[in-house]
Chains A and B, each alone.
Chain A
């Protein structure tokens, strides 16, 4: 148990659907991340929220829309996805370096949501 939970664990959706992925961390961290893990590709950082402010948007298409209502919760809203968006979406959290943490702080990952777009 890593202290980071993700729901749902599996999601199948059509290209015209709208769905949301949810991530919750119980570690008292204040930075949260979305990663995309596709077959045969390195993990791709999608978004970073630090102190509830989006600090990185790694050239992600607008059909992915993140939301961070508080430091414990992170959402990824999905709409009009493409089949190539099928992947494992991982959420992670860590302590932001400002002001107590460091860039060496461990990122703790959730189990991921396996997304299939038909």
Chain B
């Protein structure tokens, strides 16, 4: 079974500082990996996803994430935080199917990390 662990339920940074949100996955084969963001009173919005085309994935709003198979990690980074980045961030995995897999994209989510940005 797949699982996702997000280290740190709360991360606080100053405006202009580096943002690093950690995600580790557990899967027998490298899965598809996603980062979603949720702003207050809104649904989830995709930031970026890894589908094996490239290990460094660039997303919207200046975010990027690097897939590291040896570390089973997919950490999210942004060089310089903006006040508008304050939100909750979710890492998720989807299996690649095959025998015993589902025929649709079943996502397993981490518990989320709340990012606070201080002026």
Residues of chain A touching chain B, judged by Cβ–Cβ distance below 8 Å, are: 2, 4, 6, 31, 40-43, 45, 48, 50, 55-56, 90, 92, 94, 96-98, 101-112
Smallest beta-carbon distance A102→chain B, Å: 8
**Which residue of chain B lies nearest to A10 when distances are taken between CB atoms in the complex?**
B41
Contact present for B51 and A55 (CB under 8 Å): no
| A-B interface, 8 closest residue pairs, ranked by CB to CB distance from nearest | A109-B43, A104-B51, A109-B44, A43-B109, A104-B32, A103-B105, A111-B43, A42-B109
Q: Which of B14-22, B67-75, B78-86, B92-100 contacts A (4 or more CB under 8 A)?
A: B92-100
CA distance A98 to B109 in the complex (A): 23
Contact present for B43 and A2 (CB under 8 Å): yes
The yes or no answer to B103 lying at the interface (CB within 8 A) is yes
Chain B residue total in the interface (Cβ 8 A) = 28
Instruction: With A103-B96, A107-B105, A109-B45 given, name 18 new contacts (CB 8 A).
Output: A41-B111, A42-B111, A42-B112, A43-B107, A48-B104, A56-B104, A94-B105, A97-B104, A101-B105, A103-B32, A103-B106, A104-B49, A104-B94, A104-B105, A106-B34, A106-B46, A108-B46, A109-B36
CA distance A45 to B105 in the complex (A): 12
Chain A residues, CB < 8 A from B42? 111-112
The yes or no answer to B90 lying at the interface (CB within 8 A) is yes
**Which residue of chain B lies nearest to A91 when distances are taken between CB atoms in the complex?**
B43
Contact of A107 among B51, B97, B107 (CB under 8 A): B107
Contact present for A96 and B103 (CB under 8 Å): yes
Smallest beta-carbon distance A56→chain B, Å: 7
Chain B residues, CB < 8 A from A48? 104, 106
Contact of B104 among A2, A40, A94, A106 (CB under 8 A): A94
Smallest beta-carbon distance B32→chain A, Å: 4
**Which residue of chain A lies nearest to B33 when distances are taken between CB atoms in the complex?**
A104
Smallest beta-carbon distance B46→chain A, Å: 5
Interface centre among B42, B51, B106, B108 (most CB of A within 10 A): B106
Chain B residues, CB < 8 A from A55? 102-104
Smallest beta-carbon distance A47→chain B, Å: 12
